[in-house]
Each structure stands twice: as structure tokens, then as C-alpha cells.
């Protein structure tokens, strides 16, 4: 799985130009290789039909997931991010669910998964900020670990923006896009984060469980 920009036209031109590197072998570049199963993502207008790509060197295939979605989540990343933001403002899962318009059981699943990894996620994004930025100021902790995570992601987004410009490497550089791209779509996937961020653009990792129910 490779995180790519939301604009499919741009993705096609990068596939044609051979500028998307293969995360499996590190040497080859990806070319178009059909499409993955179409899926409905709540919060995105059209059905999502992710592009599939194959490495011209090692022949491994990868699904290209746009930065608007997280791995195996049926809701747009913007909605999940909005939920995390309401939680950081002090809302419980029922209030979060009401604000973002998502079933409470689904929201509870997101929040539980995130609650298990708040400290690791904060560290990960501060690592991204330090790798991407210059003289990055690490934000002080606030006493609320949810708020601390959001501010770590905002710090990472500011660092990425300062390095790549406001258009960035996956489209407009917003905190939610940085959260998706820098986690390789695995923000809420099992086993993430497991190691320090890599210094290059978008980390990728094998698929894993954790579907929305």
C-alpha cells in the first residue's frame, strides 16, 4: 500500500513518468496495473476505486491509496480527524459521534485504538517534524494527551509545509493529510507506529486488520 495524492490525474501522470518509487525493493518504480476493488467511503463523494500499480523491477503490486483515506477505514480521513479533534476538546465518544455524524460504536472504535497509542503517535509526529523541518520547536505538553497528539501533528505539518511549500508532496499540506501520509495510512491500523519515522517522504507498510464495523 502506497499513499498518494488525492488527485487521480496527477497520480496517473506520475505512474506514466515512473516517479513513484517501489516500497518493496526500493530500486524500481511503479507503473499502472489495473484497479483495486471499488469501495464506498463515507465523507467522500464518489466511490473510491483505488489504482493498483506494479513495480517495473521486482513485479510486486501495490494499492495506491489516496491521502483522503486511512487503511481499511470506511470513513474519510477528514471525518476521523474531526472526531479526534472533538475528543481533544474534551468530548466523550457519544458527543464526538453526534458532532461528526458517525455511529457511536464506530467512533468508540477509533478512539479506543487511538487511546492505546497516544504517546507513540505524538513521538512519531514530533520525529517527522524534526526530520522534515529546520530548528523545529517541540510543543510543550498540555496535560491532555489528545491535545498533545494534535499539536504534534500540527507541528509536523508546519515543518513539512516549510520544507515542501504549501502544496507539499501529497497536495495541500494540512494536518490531516500529514497524519495520513506520514503514517502511510496506518494512523489507526494495528501495530503502528512501531519504529522511528523514516527520513524520506511517505512511509509504507504491509496491510493489516482493523476494519470499521
The sign of the dihedral angle between the CA atoms of 185, 191, 197, 200 is negative
| Residue located via cell numbers 483522503 | 68
Residue 24 makes contact with Zn ion by CB under 5 A? yes
**Burial class of residue 162 in the structure, from the number of CB atoms within 10 Å of its CB (0-12 exposed, 13-18 middle, 19+ buried):** middle
Q: How far is the CB of 13 from Zn ion (least distance, A)?
A: 20
C-alpha span between 80 and 3 (Å, rounded): 17
x/- track of binding to Zn ion for residues 128-167 (CB under 5 A) = ----------------------------------------
H helices of the chain, where?
A: 8-17, 77-88, 93-100, 104-115, 118-132, 145-164, 175-182
Decide if 173 contacts 95 (C-beta within 8 A).
no
Contact positions with Zn ion (CB under 5 A) in 48-107? 55, 57-58
Q: How far is the CB of 184 from Zn ion (least distance, A)?
A: 16
* Closer by beta carbon to Zn ion, 25 or else 138: 25
Q: How far is the CB of 28 from Zn ion (least distance, A)?
A: 4
From the list 27-35, 39-47, 130-138, 177-185, the region that binds Zn ion by CB under 5 A is: 27-35
Pick one of 22, 114, 170, 187: the residue that binds Zn ion (CB under 5 A): 22
Residue 181 makes contact with Zn ion by CB under 5 A? no
Q: How far is the CB of 132 from Zn ion (least distance, A)?
A: 25
Q: How far is the CB of 31 from Zn ion (least distance, A)?
A: 11
Q: How far is the CB of 50 from Zn ion (least distance, A)?
A: 18
Helix (H, G, I), strand (E, B) or coil at 85: helix
- How many C-beta neighbours within 10 Å does residue 163 have? 14
Residue 15 makes contact with Zn ion by CB under 5 A? no
Task: Indicate the pairing of strand 30-35 with strand 61-66.
Answer: unpaired
Binding site for Zn ion (CB under 5 A): 22, 24-25, 28, 55, 57-58
Amino acid at each position: 500500500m502506497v499513499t498518494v495524492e488525492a488527485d487521480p490525474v496527477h497520480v496517473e501522470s506520475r505512474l506514466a513518468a515512473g516517479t513513484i518509487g517501489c516500497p518493496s525493493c526500493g530500486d524500481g518504480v511503479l507503473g499502472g496495473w489495473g484497479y483495486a476493488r471499488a469501495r464506498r467511503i463515507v465523507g467522500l463523494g464518489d466511490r473510491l476505486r483505488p489504482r493498483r500499480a506494479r513495480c517495473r523491477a521486482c513485479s510486486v503490486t501495490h494499492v495506491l491509496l489516496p491521502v483522503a483515506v486511512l487503511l481499511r477505514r470506511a470513513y474519510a480521513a477528514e471525518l476521523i480527524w474531526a472526531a479526534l479533534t472533538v475528543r481533544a476538546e474534551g468530548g466523550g465518544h457519544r458527543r464526538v459521534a453526534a458532532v461528526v455524524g458517525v455511529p457511536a460504536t464506530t467512533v468508540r472504535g477509533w478512539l479506543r485504538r487511538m487511546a492505546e497509542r497516544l504517546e507513540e503517535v505524538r513521538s512519531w509526529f514530533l520525529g517527522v517534524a524534526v526530520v522534515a523541518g529546520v530548528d523545529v520547536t517541540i510543543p510543550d505538553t498540555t496535560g491532555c494527551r489528545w491535545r498533545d497528539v494534535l499539536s504534534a501533528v500540527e507541528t509536523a505539518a508546519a515543518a513539512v509545509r516549510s520544507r515542501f511549500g504549501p502544496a507539499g508532496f501529497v497536495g495541500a499540506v494540512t494536518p490531516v493529510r500529514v497524519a495520513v501520509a506520514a503514517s502511510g495510512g496506518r494512523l489507526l491500523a494495528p501495530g503502528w507506529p512501531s519504529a522511528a519515522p523514516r527520513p524520506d517522504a511517505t512511509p509504507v507498510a504491509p496491510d493489516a486488520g482493523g476494519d470499521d464495523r
